[in-house]
Amino acid sequence: MHSHNHSHLPPGVRKTFPADSDSNSSQKVPDHHKPGGGFRNPWPSFEAHGFGEAFSLFALGNDYDSRRAAPPPPEERVPVIKPSFADIASFHDRAKKGDAKVRATWLGHACLFVQVGGVNVLADPCCSERCSPVQWAGPARHRPLPCDLADLPQIDVVLISHNHYDHLDLPTIQRLAKLPIGSQTTYFVPLGNKRWFEKSAPNVKVVEGDWWDEWEFSKSTATGAQVGAAEEEKVTVACTPCQHFSSRSIWDRDATLWSSWVVKSPNASFFFGGDTGYRAVPRSWPDPYAELSKLPHCPAFKQIGDKYGPFDLAAVPIGAYSPRWFMSPIHCSPEDSVELHRDIRARKSVGMHWGTFTLTDEPYWEPPQRLKAALAAHGMPEDEFVVLDIGGAVEV
């Protein structure tokens, strides 16, 4: 069993579930832990359709470039706008007055700057020009960042969903650690990823956890700020399941865990979907976007909704899903994303993981178009699940 020891937790972080006494060795090993080490998706909704080494190479961009959909010319891509720093700066005060609960600014791909419960959260920051082990090959960014990292306010928490290069980006993490806004940041990562930080970014504070682990994060203790007890900002951070895989090379497949994340204060809640599939669509399926209810879907999202929902806001991936037979186990189509949104009981969702890097072969604008159609098919209003300009924000 992996040990979770309180003594290793950075200041301002307290493990609330499970308590250390619960994790004695007589406990059954969780279904998603492989005997002998590593992790797996323990549900019928996941099938590894032979995307073993093929996917590792695919992710590193070796042989697949010619088969990917080329993005449209720059003027026809998703707009990039400057974030509203005035609204960001005033948000926590407005939330204290009860005028708002959560604000999320989309920085492109799966990276969001989220404000909830008095805490500033950065999810899956990736600012590099390419999301690959080297900056001369692999998928290139075709939309710029909407601002410099240094323009953001103090980052209290970084959430990492898994170790793929478009979600765990070494240059971004090293840069953030050197910036004043990143000097006090606490990183929350799924099991097995702490070692990477110890090697690659040894001075950052890292909390590592398994699915359903939960911590209380106290901002002033973590950042050393002097505040009265009444001003103590505390949020619950929970590591929650998702259906994906991990690898940074062809040799370390599924050695580290992948996850979604929940951040919750007494009066606001946010769900970060990371990178996830919802069901596996077989190659023989007549229409890879239809009759999907006949296929098993991932049960974890309903469990997350039952335990932590409803969510004021969720960030849910909507891109990198084609070809379906190959990608469906690990990446939601927009049709899947809408069902996931309903399972977790999100009041509102924002679509991410599209429009920034070309990782797969669906046409550039297809994710938001499919999302619109899927909402209509469920009789849901379009403003319940939105897409943003890069740099745009949604506030609830």
Tokens at 295, concatenated: 């296929």
For residues 152 and 179, is the Cβ–Cβ distance under 8 A?
no
Q: What is the CA radius of gyration of the chain?
A: 20
The residue assigned the tokens 């897409």 is 387
Interhelix angle for 334-343 vs 366-377, to 10°? 50
Predicted pLDDT at 377: 96
Which helix (H) or strand (E) segment holds residue 263: the answer is: strand 260-265
pLDDT recorded at residue 5 = 45
User: Is the distance from CB of 169 to CB of 135 less than 8 angstroms?
Assistant: no
Contacts for 341-345: CB closer than 8 Å, 24+ residues apart: 341/314, 341/316, 341/384, 341/385, 342/378, 343/301, 343/302, 343/304, 343/305, 344/271, 344/301, 344/302, 344/304, 344/305, 344/308, 344/309, 344/311, 344/314, 345/305, 345/309, 345/310, 345/311
At 315 the pLDDT is 99
**Burial category of 333 from C-beta neighbours within 10 Å (exposed 0-12, middle 13-18, buried 19 and up):** buried
Taking every pair of Cα atoms in the chain, the longest distance, rounded to a whole number of angstroms, is 62
pLDDT of amino acid 186: 98
Q: What is the pLDDT of residue 20?
A: 61
Burial of 203 (0-12, 13-18, 19+ CB in 10 A): exposed
CB half-sphere exposure, 303, CA atoms < 13 A: 11
DSSP output for 208-220: EE-TT-EEEEEHH
pLDDT, one tens digit for every residue, the chain (396 residues): 444 444 589 999 999 999 665 554 557 899 999 999 999 998 889 976 554 444 544 444 444 444 566 788 999 999 999 999 999 999 999 999 999 999 999 999 999 999 999 999 999 999 888 886 666 567 789 899 999 999 999 999 999 998 888 888 999 999 999 999 999 999 999 999 999 999 999 999 999 999 999 999 999 887 777 766 556 789 999 999 999 888 887 788 888 999 999 999 999 999 999 999 999 998 888 998 888 999 999 999 999 999 999 999 999 999 999 988 888 999 999 999 999 999 999 999 999 999 998 888 899 999 999 999 999 999 999 999 999 999 999 999
> Superfamily assignment of 30-66+79-395 in CATH?
Ribonuclease Z/Hydroxyacylglutathione hydrolase-like (3.60.15.10)
Rounded CA-CA distance 320/317 in Å is 9
Whole-number Å distance between alpha carbons of 353 and 106 = 10
pLDDT of residue 4: 47
**265 to each of 42, 236, 269, 270, 331, how far by Cα in Å?**
30, 6, 6, 9, 29
Residue pair 314/332 in contact by the 8 Å Cβ criterion: no
